[in-house]
C-alpha cells in the first residue's frame, strides 16, 4: 500500500515514461505509457488525463474555499481570487466563468442562512404585486419586509452609474499587474477602521430610509473593484447611516443576492460567447464547496458582529494591501509577474 502511494506521487510529480520504468518488472502487465500498473496491482488508466482532472478539482476546491470565506468576511473575495489567479497563472475568460460559478455557490449559502427573512420578503413581494394591480399599493407606513424590498431596489439602482465601467473593472482583475488590487485593499482597510469608530446606530430593518439605501448602494458600486470588499463596504455604509450592526450585516448580505446574481449571469454570457474552455467537473465541485464554506463564514460573521471584532479585518487588509504593493513594485523591477504555476 505504501509503495502504491509512492507510485501515485511519482505520477503527479513527473512525466516519466511509466511503461519504460517497469519494462523489466514481471508485475507490470501493461507497458503502454498511457496506462499504469503499480507493484501492488493498482491499475490507473490514462494517467495524464487523470492528473489534470485531479489537479483541476484541487484547484477548484482551493478557490472555492477562498471565495466562500472572503465573500462574507469583509476582506474582498474578488481581490483574493484575483491574487490567486495572478500567482497561479489561472486567468482569462475561463477564470471569469469559474468565478461566477463560485459566486452562485455563495448565494446558496445566503438563502440558507437568511431563509426566514427572505421567505417573508418573497411573501410580501406577492402582496405588493397584488396591491399594484388592485390600486392599493402605497409606500407609506411600510412593514419591515416591504421596506427591505423597496430599499434594496433603491440600492440596486445606484449601481447604474457604474455599469459603463464594467469592462474596466474586469480588466483590472485579469491584467498582469496587482498594483490596483493593493490600493483597493488599503481602501477597504480605511473604511473598516472608520466604521469601527462610528457611534453605534439604532436603526433596524423597519427604519431604513431612502438616503441610507442610496449610501449603501453607492458604496457597493465602488466595491466592483477587485480588492474592495463588497460586504465590508456595504456593512460600513450601513453603520455610517446609523444602522445597528445586525441590521447592517443582514441588509448587506441580502442586497448581494440580486447584484451578484445579475453579475454572474453577465459573466457567464461573456464566457459562453467567447467559447471559453470550461471544466464542468471543477465548476460543480467549486459550487458545492463555496456554498458550504460560505454558510460557515456567515455563521462566523454573525459571531463577529456580536463580539464587535470587525477591526481585525481592517488590520488584515492593511497588511495585505502593503504586501501586495511591495510585490507589485518587485514585479515592475523584474519586468514580469511572479508566478508559482508550473
- Average of per-residue pLDDT values in the chain: 79
* pLDDT surpasses 50 at 99: yes
Average confidence (pLDDT) over 293-312: 83
Q: What per-residue string of b and e applies to 220-258 under the rule 16 or more CB within 10 Å gives b?
A: bbebbbbbbbbbbbbbbbbbbbbbbbebbbbbbbbbbbe
Q: Are residues 153 and 261 in the same domain?
A: yes
Quote the number of domains for the chain: 2
**Could you give the percent of the chain with pLDDT greater than 70?**
77
In a domain, residue 242? The reply is yes
Residue 213 exposure: Cα atoms within 13 Å on the Cβ side: 20
Q: Are residues 84 and 40 in the same domain?
A: no
Q: Are residues 151 and 279 in the same domain?
A: yes
Q: Are residues 286 and 242 in the same domain?
A: yes
Q: Are residues 76 and 146 in the same domain?
A: yes
In a domain, residue 174? The reply is yes
In angstroms, rounded to a whole number, what is the distance separating the alpha carbons of residues 156 and 334?
42
pLDDT tens sequence across 177-202:
788 889 999 999 999 999 888 878 88
In a domain, residue 340? The reply is no
Q: Looking only at Cα atoms, what is the longest distance across the chain? A: 87
Q: Are residues 211 and 87 in the same domain?
A: yes
In angstroms, rounded to a whole number, what is the distance separating the alpha carbons of residues 19 and 29?
9
Closest CA to 254 of 156, 114, 155: 114
Q: Are residues 17 and 161 in the same domain?
A: no
In a domain, residue 293? The reply is yes
pTM for the model: 0.74
Secondary structure string (H, E, C) spanning 204-251? CHHHCCHHHHHHHHHHHHHCCCCCCCHHHHHHHHHHHCCECHHHHHHH
Contacts of residue 3, defined as CB under 8 A and 6 or more positions apart, other chains included, come to 38, 39, 40
In a domain, residue 72? The reply is yes
Q: Are residues 34 and 92 in the same domain?
A: no
Q: Are residues 11 and 126 in the same domain?
A: no
- In this predicted structure, what is the pLDDT of residue 303? 82
Highest mean pLDDT among 44-48, 77-81, 182-186, 279-283: 182-186
Contacts of residue 61, defined as CB under 8 A and 6 or more positions apart, other chains included, come to 285, 286, 289
Residues comprising the chain, all counted: 342
Closest CA to 99 of 79, 74, 72, 75: 79
* pLDDT surpasses 90 at 87: no
In a domain, residue 342? The reply is no
Closest CA to 252 of 197, 191, 293: 191
Q: Are residues 79 and 188 in the same domain?
A: yes
In angstroms, rounded to a whole number, what is the distance separating the alpha carbons of residues 309 and 298?
14
* pLDDT surpasses 60 at 339: yes
Q: Are residues 136 and 237 in the same domain?
A: yes
Q: Are residues 12 and 146 in the same domain?
A: no
In a domain, residue 91? The reply is yes
* Structural domain boundaries enclosing 129: 62-334
In a domain, residue 339? The reply is no
* pLDDT surpasses 60 at 342: no
Amino acid at each position: 500500500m505504501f509503495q502504491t502511494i509512492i507510485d501515485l506521487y511519482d505520477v503527479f510529480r513527473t512525466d516519466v515514461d511509466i511503461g519504460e520504468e517497469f519494462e523489466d518488472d514481471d508485475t507490470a502487465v501493461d507497458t503502454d505509457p498511457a496506462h499504469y500498473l503499480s507493484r501492488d496491482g493498482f491499475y490507473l488508466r490514462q494517467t495524464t488525463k487523470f492528473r489534470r482532472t485531479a489537479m483541476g478539482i484541487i484547484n477548484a476546491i482551493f478557490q472555492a474555499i477562498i471565495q466562500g470565506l472572503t465573500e462574507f468576511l469583509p476582506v474582498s473575495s474578488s481581490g483574493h481570487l484575483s491574487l490567486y489567479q495572478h500567482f497561479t497563472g489561472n486567468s482569462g475568460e475561463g477564470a471569469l466563468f469559474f468565478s461566477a460559478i463560485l459566486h452562485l455557490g455563495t448565494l446558496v449559502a445566503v438563502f440558507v442562512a437568511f431563509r426566514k427573512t427572505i421567505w417573508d420578503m418573497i411573501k410580501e413581494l406577492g402582496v405588493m404585486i397584488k396591491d399594484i394591480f388592485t390600486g392599493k399599493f402605497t409606500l407609506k407606513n411600510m412593514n419591515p419586509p416591504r421596506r427591505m424590498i423597496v430599499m434594496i431596489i433603491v440600492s440596486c439602482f445606484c449601481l447604474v452609474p457604474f455599469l459603463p465601467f464594467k469592462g474596466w473593472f474586469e480588466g483590472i482583475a485579469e491584467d498582469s499587474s496587482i498594483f490596483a488590487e493593493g490600493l483597493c485593499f488599503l481602501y477597504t482597510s480605511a473604511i473598516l477602521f472608520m466604521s469601527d469608530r462610528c457611534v453605534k446606530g439604532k436603526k433596524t430593518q423597519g427604519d431604513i430610509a431612502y438616503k441610507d439605501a442610496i449610501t449603501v448602494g453607492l458604496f457597493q458600486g465602488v466595491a466592483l473593484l477587485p480588492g474592495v470588499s463588497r460586504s465590508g463596504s456595504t456593512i460600513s455604509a450601513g453603520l455610517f447611516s446609523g444602522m445597528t450592526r445586525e441590521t447592517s450585516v443582514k441588509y448587506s448580505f441580502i442586497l448581494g443576492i440580486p447584484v451578484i446574481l445579475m453579475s454572474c449571469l453577465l459573466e457567464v454570457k461573456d464566457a459562453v460567447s467567447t467559447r471559453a474552455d470550461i471544466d464542468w467537473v471543477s465548476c460543480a465541485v467549486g459550487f458545492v464547496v463555496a456554498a458550504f464554506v460560505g454558510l460557515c463564514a456567515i455563521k462566523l460573521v454573525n459571531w463577529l458582529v456580536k463580539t464587535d471584532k470587525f477591526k481585525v479585518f481592517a488590520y488584515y487588509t492593511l497588511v495585505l494591501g502593503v504586501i501586495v504593493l511591495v510585490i507589485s513594485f518587485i514585479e515592475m523591477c523584474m519586468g514580469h509577474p511572479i508566478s508559482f504555476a508550473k
